[in-house]
Structures are given as C-alpha cells and as structure tokens.
Amino acid sequence: MNKIKKKQLSEKIKNIPEQKGIFSFSDNEKILYVCKTSNIKKRIEFFQNNIGNDKTILQLMSLTETIEWEITPTLFSALIKEKKIISSKNPEFNYQLKPYSSYVYLGIDFYRPPYFRITENTQGELFYLGPFRDRFFLHDFMQTMMYLFQYPACEDENYPCRFYQKKICTGFCLQDSKEINEIIQKFYLFPNFKILENIDQKREELSQNLEFQKADLVQKQSYLISKYYQILKFLHTTKSIEMEFSENNIFCKIKKGKLSELNENGVIQYFESAELNYRKNEKLALEKDQLDEMWIIYDFLHKTYPKEIDKIYSKSISTTNIF
C-alpha cells in the first residue's frame, strides 16, 4: 500500500489517485478507520475538509498519524479488502462513523394523499422502497413523473393541492383509488423501461427540430427515470442473490445479497450477518447500513454474470405480490 504521514496530506493530496480502491487512517499502533471508495482522493479530501463540521471526524483526524491507500481493479475487490481488515483489526471508527445515516426511503400510500413520502425509516405502515442515498434525487424523480405524465407529487395531506390547480397533476386524490394503485405498481414499483423509449424518441424529435434546450431537459428527465428504475431493479433482486464464484483466485460466497464467506489459499473467513425479518411492506427495503455492500455486490455480479442476475431478477418480480 502507498503511505504518507498525515502532516504531509496538504502537500501530497495532489498525488493521491482518483481511482477505485481502499484507504485507511492509522495512529502509531493500529488502524483507526478503513474505507472502500470509488475515488480515493475525493474521499480522503472529504475527511480533510470536514474536520470542522463533524466531531467524530475531528477526533479521527486528530488521532491519525498515517494514511495508506491501495488501488483495486473493482469496488468489489475493495469491499473484500475492507471486510477482511474490519474483521481482523476491528477499527473503532468504522463503528462510530455512519455515512448511511442520511439515507432515506420512499414510502408509498396506495389509498390516500400524499401518495409518496420521503421517510427516515420503515417503521410506519406505508410500503417502503430503498434506502436512497439522496433525498433530492427522489424529489426530482417524483417531480419529473408529474411534469411528464401528470402523476401525483403531493406535498402534504391537504388536497387538491396547487399542482392540480395548475393542471400539472390530474387530481388522483379526487378519483377512485384503483387507478392510482395501478399507476403506482406499473411505474413506481416495477421498472417500466418502455416509457424511456418514448422519452428518448421525444428527445430525438426535439433535437431534429433544433429545440436543443427542451431536448436537454428531456434528456435529464430520462436520466432520472432510468436511474430510479436501475435502483428498483436492484431492490427487486439483491435479497435473492445466492451465488458462489472465484474472483482473483479468491472463492466468494454470497448469501442474501451479502458477502458471507471467503476462501483465499485455503484460509477461510466467515462474515456474520444478522438475520433480518422484513415485513411485507418492506419487501423492497433494506437496512441503511447494508445498502453500500449490497449495491457493490449486485453491480459487480450484474456486470460479470449478467444472465444469472437477470434470472434472479425475473424470478423475483414474477413472485412479487405487493398486496
């Protein structure tokens, strides 16, 4: 691994790579914190720049004497290294820092407005999806669906709201709930990539008519919907992933979407994971602290074993019963 003294960080930061990998902060005796990342330099800069904003980061950086990093070919490789270090070294700040605490869920009410709510947890009686790393992404997605298709983006329990009065929403709150139920299932609970084809066709027509500003807006809308559907596909799939494979001569076992076992040159390492009992309304919800690991595993397997992952996804949606 590459190594610098923390006191050299301001001088040496320009030499730290903007690549996938793993880094650690250590005092003179032990590792204090280890982290996988898609951009080593930016993630280390985050800690450097937030000393004055977070007491735990301040404490960590005050104790740190040495910073080490290593580039890895994939985030999955970085995840393996991170889990091995956490399991063997037990870095104390990996339990104190909780970057996932700001993640949110999309809560859905099938019968009454507001039909969609951004929530901090899944403890209520809504139907939950997520978590999502960015609440503003969810807000932008719902606004996009409203402006493109006049679907609801209710702001609170009071209805009809200003969007109906402005004729941006068709007023599902004033209609029978059956129609909104069908829309939610068709466009919010299951990926509907067909609408992306229609949106992209609209963008192409706008470009051909030299309406480039409108075409750019439609392209952004298409990106938001596509990203939401990719996350939705992940949520439908990840809990059902049970696979065994080798990566860089390391045997890996995935159980319920998480890394459960490694075998490297005959040395076996198990990773314990609490058995979670999800309620029916949490079928598409995960614990916040599990999202990053499960996404990295899903993304790696989707790229490496696409047919196997697509089979798991197809089976999952065919057996999904929301009600």
pLDDT digits (tens, 9 = 90+) for 90-122: 999 999 999 899 999 999 999 888 889 999 999
pLDDT at 283: 94
pLDDT at 322: 67
pTM, 2 dp = 0.91
Eight-state DSSP code of residue 126? S
With 80 as the cut, is the pLDDT of residue 131 above it? yes
**Displacement of CA 49 from its chain's centroid (Å):** 24
Question: Which of 12-16, 146-150, 166-170 has the weakest average pLDDT?
Answer: 166-170
Average pLDDT, rounded, for the chain: 91
Show the tokens assigned to 33.
């914190």
> Cis peptide leading into 17, omega within 30 of 0?
no
Report whether pLDDT(199) > 90.
Answer: no
pLDDT at 201 over 80: yes
- If one counts every other C-beta atom within 10 angstroms of the C-beta of residue 26, the result is 20
- Predicted confidence at residue 96, as pLDDT, reads 93
Domain ranges, ordered by start, for the chain: 2-97, 237-319
For the chain, count helices (H), then strands (E): 12, 12
pLDDT at 200: 87
C-alpha 132/C-alpha 138 separation (Å) is 8
The CATH class given to the 2-97 domain equals alpha beta
The beta strands (E) that lie in 137-256 are given as 243-247, 250-255
| Strand, coil or helix: 67 | strand
Confidence check: pLDDT of 10 > 70: yes
Task: Give the E-state strand segments of 225-322 in sequence order.
Answer: 243-247, 250-255, 258-264, 267-270, 284-285
Mean pLDDT of 24-50: 94
Give the residue among 131, 147, 256, 124 at the shortest CA–CA distance from 202: 147
Name the residue among 155, 162, 163, 189 with its Cα closest to residue 284.
189
Q: Tell me: the pLDDT tens digits for 259-306?
A: 999 999 888 999 987 778 899 999 999 999 999 999 999 999 999 999
